[in-house]
Chains A and B, each alone.
Chain A
Amino acid sequence: MNALFRGKGWSFGFRSAIMLYFVILIVLPIFGIYTQSFSLGWTPFWESISDPLAWKAVLLTVKLAVIATVLNMFLGTMIGWVLIRYRFPGRRFLNSLVDLPFALPTAVGGLMILLLLGPNSLVGGLAQKIGIEIVFHEPAIVVAMLFVTFPFVIRAIQPLLEEMDKSEEEAAYTLGATRTKTFFSVIFPTMLPGILSGAMLAFSRGIAEFGAVVLVAGNIPGKTLIASVYIFGEIESSNPQGAAAVSVLLLTLSFLILWTVNLIQGRRGGQ
């Protein structure tokens, strides 16, 4: 059977089927967005981007996504570490819960945040008393982004920790390294590529999040409107070119990031 698949015809068929699939589903739509955004030429493109409401939305998105990503790097690393290195009852169960944000429609996540942190909830009520606004302000957007990007860092470092050779760690101890030194010069470097690539994915996902954020952000242009909701607004008000222009900005950003991830992972493979 295996030999059959290695035949020239099969190999060619597979490759072209996959390429076709890739082109139709990924390359064409993205190419379409770039074409759409420049459909009226450079000047309208520049006008759409330089609109204060547009760049404020992009800036806010990037800022909040960075915050969410940094939080994810710390918490995700810790959670991944705990799930691999410690044995406790319920570990497997917790481990399987990690992926749930992927399975849930993000709007449901947003709704839950609204209910749990909203003005009628315990947390929201307390926060309001001490003068902190959560829902409909920036903190809620960060929480929504955290929720949808939760699995990335954890899932990126888990295999690295699992594959790590126990003897490396033991060697470090034998050579007289302290626990801290062992962690920072043996364990941490192993996890680092995972943390970085997980973080980059989380960031890309964060800047693109719509469903959860639209429910918990106030969506006031110039104040609490993030890029994806801005794009939605432009589409709804029949301005596809403006929507595409801002999308191009996000796409380019995401592309650069994912490319960096690939480079990092490529380097790891080479090591």
Chain B
Amino acid sequence: MKINRSTSQRMLVLLLAAVMLLVVAGCGKDGQTGENEAGSTVQDGDVTLVIGAYSVVKDAFAELLPAFQAYWLQETGQKVTFQESYEASGTQARAIAGGFEADVAILAMEGDLDKIANAGFITHDWKAAQGSSGMITNSIVVLGTRAGNPLGIQDWDDLTRKGVKVLYPNPKTSGGAQWDINAIYGAGLKQSEVKNGIKDPDYAKSFLKSVHANVESLDKSGRASMAAFEYGVGDVIVTYENELLARIKKGVNYDIVVPKSTILIENPAAVVDKNADKHGTRKVAEAFISYLHSEAAQRLFVEHGFRAVDEKVAADTKDRYTVPEELFDISYLGGWPEVRKNLYSKKGVWYQVLADL
């Protein structure tokens, strides 16, 4: 009996070793075929464009990519196929900066593209490469409430009322969420200007703090926050206008409240030079970025709830959108480098709000 047992134990060990060997062999083989595939795409007449995008554009891209495919085929006779990756903007930026070989990057904010540029993957001045400073879409930060706005939310001040449950994602994990926090902070600055005549950072900080006191859940991404709201958590969600419009278009009944002062969101896109050159896809990558700025693409973005950067399209669709009385952009807060230093650095405003300092 005893011998039997130890034999079976040994057999188990042997089995384990065999499985390990197989796994190791399998990995090695996988790696090889991967390389071969990457090599073969360049030689064929077809071309593969690797897209690293932030998750919000996924639905819009589902329509946009086939349109570009048709456009490129007609233009050059070349068939373009896509490899798409959608992640939270910050995660995507880190992935590309860390070696994910995307030819083009479409992200939620300038800061994330800067991350890739700082890692040496974008070498051209992407802001100057296209019109509208390299931005492909705009939106604004708004408040979403339950159908019919039962709590009568009108502006940021209502979020500080007792018993109002607020949702917004964590700007530490979601770069896109920084727009939301910037909007609240900026609205606080605007208020202090009205009250005291000067931009008062302390006032803005305490304003952000009083909103934060009502936050029910700090989710890791804008999408997760939206999902929580859909499960019935919270009374108000602070999010992008396009995100809410997309949900409403799908038949979910929410009210959009546009605050009096809020921030203009600008989403950039650029060719990732190092990868495009390596894959030999620079031509199609650049064409793709210009296509994103074209009228057709801009109209499609508008259908998905974004605000157009193309002036003609923006003028055509302007009756769809309310322009807030005191719309400000990131420069009101001093630009991204300043905002990163001021709000999101180690002991910055955001940390102080959390730690209640």
Contact = CB atoms under 8 A, between A and B. Distances in A.
Interface of A: 1-2, 5, 14, 17-18, 21, 52-53, 114-115, 118-120, 135-136, 214, 217-222, 225, 229, 232-233, 236-238
Nearest to A219: B218
Interface in B1-35: 3, 6-7, 10, 13-14, 17, 20
A14 B344 CA distance: 52
Given A119-B233, A238-B94, A136 B17 contact: no
Contacts of A136: 216-217, 233
Contacts of B17: 14, 17
Interface in B197-256: 215-220, 228, 231-233
A236 B233 contact: no
B231 A115 contact: yes
Interface of B: 3, 6-7, 10, 13-14, 17, 20, 90-91, 94, 170, 172-173, 215-220, 228, 231-233, 344, 351, 354-356
Contact of A18 (B7, B13, B219): B13
Contacts, number: 72
A221 B357 CA distance: 13
A186 B7 CA distance: 35
Nearest to A124: B232
13 contacts: A2-B3, A2-B7, A2-B10, A5-B14, A14-B10, A120-B232, A136-B217, A214-B220, A218-B216, A218-B217, A220-B354, A221-B218, A233-B172
A232 B173 contact: yes
B263 to A, nearest CB: 21
A237 B172 contact: yes
Contacts of B231: 114-115, 118-120
B176 to A, nearest CB: 12
A219 B217 contact: yes
Contacts of A222: 354-356
Nearest to B221: A236
A158 B344 CA distance: 51
List the 6 shortest-distance A-B pairs measured between CB atoms, nearest first.
A120-B232, A218-B217, A236-B173, A119-B232, A221-B354, A237-B172
Nearest to A229: B220
Contacts of B344: 237
B7 A118 contact: no
Given A114-B231, A219-B220, A237 B215 contact: no
Contacts of B219: 219
Contact of B10 (A5, A17, A219): A5
A1 B7 contact: yes
Contacts of B14: 5, 14
- Among B215, B218, B355, the most chain A Cβ lie within 10 Å of the Cβ of B218
Contacts of A221: 218, 354-355
Contact of A14 (B3, B13, B90): B13
Given A222-B354, A225-B218, A236-B173, 16 more contacts: A2-B3, A2-B6, A2-B10, A14-B10, A17-B17, A18-B13, A53-B355, A118-B231, A119-B231, A119-B232, A120-B232, A214-B220, A217-B217, A218-B218, A222-B356, A237-B173
A101 to B, nearest CB: 21
